[in-house]
């Protein structure tokens, strides 16, 4: 499988896993810690928005790393981002190792390969979904299985 095709599959997984966690949060509101779960979920969205802007050179002025998106807004943004990631990967199939110059949230300049940034986005989302799963467990709610293997078996 080509690297770009693997990244497309990982971004499909990411969207699937985000939808699984979002549905579980929505189905159980209100619960102890629901606001923290929503805040962490919105962060997944905010980070993706920020990285997409960095990669494409779009303005980041209105973007927040920790936005306050309600779940329906967060889901819609993720659907838009999912389509954007697919287009970006498709159009960069032969240039996935090209360097991307950007500044982090503190203004420090960096240069990172596009493929490394794309992998980071997937790993970052999984990290925060795991945190949300722990919050759900603490509220006595069974979190959904969002491991990649569950996605692979279903797709």
The DSSP-derived string for the chain is --HHHHHHHHHHHHHHHHHHHHHHHHHH-S-TTHHHHHHHHHHHHHHHHHHHHHHHT---TT--SS----HHHHHHHHHHHHHHHHHHHHHTGGGTT-EEEEE-TTS-EEEEEHHHHHHHHHHHHHHHHHHHHHHHHHTT-PPP---HHHHHHH-
Residue with token string 């509101």: 29
Q: Is 69 annotated as a binding residue?
A: no
Q: Is 43 annotated as a binding residue?
A: yes
The annotated binding site for a divalent metal cation is made up of: 43, 124, 128
The annotated binding site is made up of: 43, 124, 128
């Amino acid at each position: 499988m080509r690297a770009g095709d693997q990244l497309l599959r990982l971004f499909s997984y990411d969207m699937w896993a985000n939808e699984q966690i979002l549905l579980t949060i929505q189905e159980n509101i209100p619960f102890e810690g629901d606001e923290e779960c929503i805040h962490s979920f919105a962060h997944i969205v905010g980070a993706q928005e920020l990285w997409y802007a960095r990669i494409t050179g779009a303005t980041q002025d209105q973007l927040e790393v920790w936005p306050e998106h309600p779940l329906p807004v967060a889901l819609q943004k993720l659907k838009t981002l999912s389509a954007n990631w697919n287009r970006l990967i498709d159009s960069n199939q032969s240039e996935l190792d090209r360097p991307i110059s950007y500044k982090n949230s503190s203004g420090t300049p960096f240069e990172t390969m596009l493929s490394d940034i794309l992998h980071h986005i997937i790993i970052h989302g999984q990290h925060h979904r795991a945190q949300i799963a722990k919050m759900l467990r603490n509220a006595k709610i069974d979190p959904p299985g969002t491991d990649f293997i569950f996605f692979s078996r279903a797709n």
